[in-house]
Every structure is written in C-alpha cells, then in structure tokens.
C-alpha cells in the first residue's frame, strides 16, 4: 500500500543542514494497523507528512499503491491524497467558522462531489460517530472528544483506503481516547489501513500490529505482533520489491 525507499528529508537552517529523516525504509501493507513510534523531535511528524503525501522528500522514492508520488505535480498529488488518505490530527484542525456538517463536507468539495451527495454523506458519517444531534454546532460548541469524532467523520468523507492519525488521543482524557481508538480499530477491522503516529509505547503496543520505532531521524527497529508476542523484524527485510 505505502512504501518509502531510502527516503530522506533535510532542512537548511542558516549554514547547517538538519536531517529530519535520513535513509528511511518503511513498507506498510494493505489492511495493517501500523504505529510510527518515537519521542518528540525523532522525525515521526516529518515521516507522517511524507507518508501522507503532504510533503516531498529531499531524496528517495515514495510509492502509494505502486505509484511513485515523488514524480507527481502538486495538483496531482493533492488529488491522490484527497482520494486515498484520510487525516486525523491531534489538534482536530476543524475550521472554526464551519459547522460539524460543513467540516465533514469540506473534503468532498475538492473531489467535485455534488452538494446534495455531500450533505447526505456528511449526515451519514456524523450519525456513524454518534453526533447526528450536533450537525449544526460549531467546533467551539463541542467537547474535545466530539471535535475528534467530527475529525474522524471528515477523514472518512471520501472513503479513503488509508487513515493517518497523528497523536489522535493526545488532547483527550483517557476514557474519550479509548473511544477514539476503539473506533480506529473498528475501521481497521473493516479493511482500512491505519497509520498512527504516537509517542506512547503502551498505546502502540496495545493496538497496532506493526511498529516502526524512530529515533534521531532513522528507523531504530521494527516490531511485529506474532500471535500474542512482539518480534523484532530485520530492517533489511521490509521491502516488498
């Protein structure tokens, strides 16, 4: 589904070159629940931006469903991203002057979906996340957990194959966070590929089946769940091709 081959992302700061990611190889198979795990400053957010087609790599190749997205124009990349990937952010990133319904409708506008279909689909999705009674509420009229559920509904608007969740429980209390993670597990059971970026090893090991451990811009190790036990995978074995 997604493959990063020898990918690096460098930033120039004055006379210095900062290597946010360096020589990273990641291979995510369709239907997996993957955690990108690392402390603050490890490069996991940069990795999320590259996996999610939000940025271009400095070098290396990134494949999405067999297509090298590094070769696409920005407009083509935006279309691919809009169709295939749904984003859930720690800070929700809802548009404050749009209602819950309008926030969920927003991604469908960029895919050219008819207005009547946008409204119908957004209502269905808000019902799915049990917020059908909040469709006319603005983000500041919703709790943090409700805002995150609106964000999940928005992520599903174009029926993407991949859900990319950046610290999805980071701004939520424990109980609400569990509700959100349970919903991600449900989506995974239905065939969606889930990629969760987190700094919490307990959360990663409780819910993911594959974990990429990032440190100082490099993959430190990969672990996979085999039965009920975690096993480390040789780094050189992750490429599909």
* pLDDT digit string, tens, across residues 44-55: 889 988 988 888
Percent of the chain with pLDDT over 90: 61
Question: Can you give the pLDDT at residue 191?
Answer: 93
CATH number at residue 54: 3.40.50.300
pTM of the entire predicted model = 0.88
First to last CA, the chain: 12
Mean pLDDT of the chain: 90
* Structural domain includes residue 118: no
Domain count within the chain: 1
* Structural domain includes residue 173: yes
The pairing of beta strand 59-64 with beta strand 2-13: antiparallel
Given pLDDT bands bounded at 50, 70 and 90, which one contains residue 80? Answer: confident
* Structural domain includes residue 116: no
Question: Can you give the pLDDT at residue 241?
Answer: 40
Question: Region 179-199: what's the mean pLDDT?
Answer: 92
Given pLDDT bands bounded at 50, 70 and 90, which one contains residue 178? Answer: confident
SS3 content of the chain, % helix, strand, coil (to 5): 35, 30, 30
Distance, CA of 24 to CA of 42 (rounded, Å):
12
Least confident of 10-24, 152-166, 227-241: 227-241
* Structural domain includes residue 80: yes
Question: Region 162-174: what's the mean pLDDT?
Answer: 88
């Amino acid at each position: 589904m997604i493959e990063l081959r020898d990918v690096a992302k460098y930033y120039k700061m004055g006379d210095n070159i900062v290597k946010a990611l360096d020589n990273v190889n990641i291979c995510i198979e369709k239907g997996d629940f993957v955690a990108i795990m690392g402390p603050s400053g490890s490069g996991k957010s940069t990795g999320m931006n590259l996996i999610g087609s939000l940025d271009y790599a400095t070098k290396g190749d990134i494949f999405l469903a067999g297509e090298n997205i590094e070769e696409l124009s920005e407009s083509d990349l935006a279309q691919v991203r809009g169709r295939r990937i749904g984003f859930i952010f720690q800070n929700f990133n809802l548009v404050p002057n749009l209602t819950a319904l309008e926030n969920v409708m927003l991604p469908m506008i960029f895919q050219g979906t008819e207005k009547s279909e946008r409204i119908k689909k957004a209502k269905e999705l808000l019902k799915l996340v049990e917020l059908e009674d909040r469709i006319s509420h603005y983000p500041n009229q919703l709790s943090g957990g409700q805002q995150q559920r609106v964000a999940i509904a928005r992520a599903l608007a174009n029926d993407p194959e991949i859900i990319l969740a950046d610290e999805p429980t980071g701004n939520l209390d424990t109980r609400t966070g569990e509700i959100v993670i349970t919903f991600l597990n449900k989506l995974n059971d239905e065939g969606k590929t889930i990629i969760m970026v987190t700094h919490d090893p307990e959360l990663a090991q409780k819910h993911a089946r594959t974990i990429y451990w990032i440190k100082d811009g490099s993959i430190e190790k990969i672990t996979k769940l085999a039965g009920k036990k975690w096993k480390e995978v040789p780094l050189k074995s992750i490429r599909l091709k």
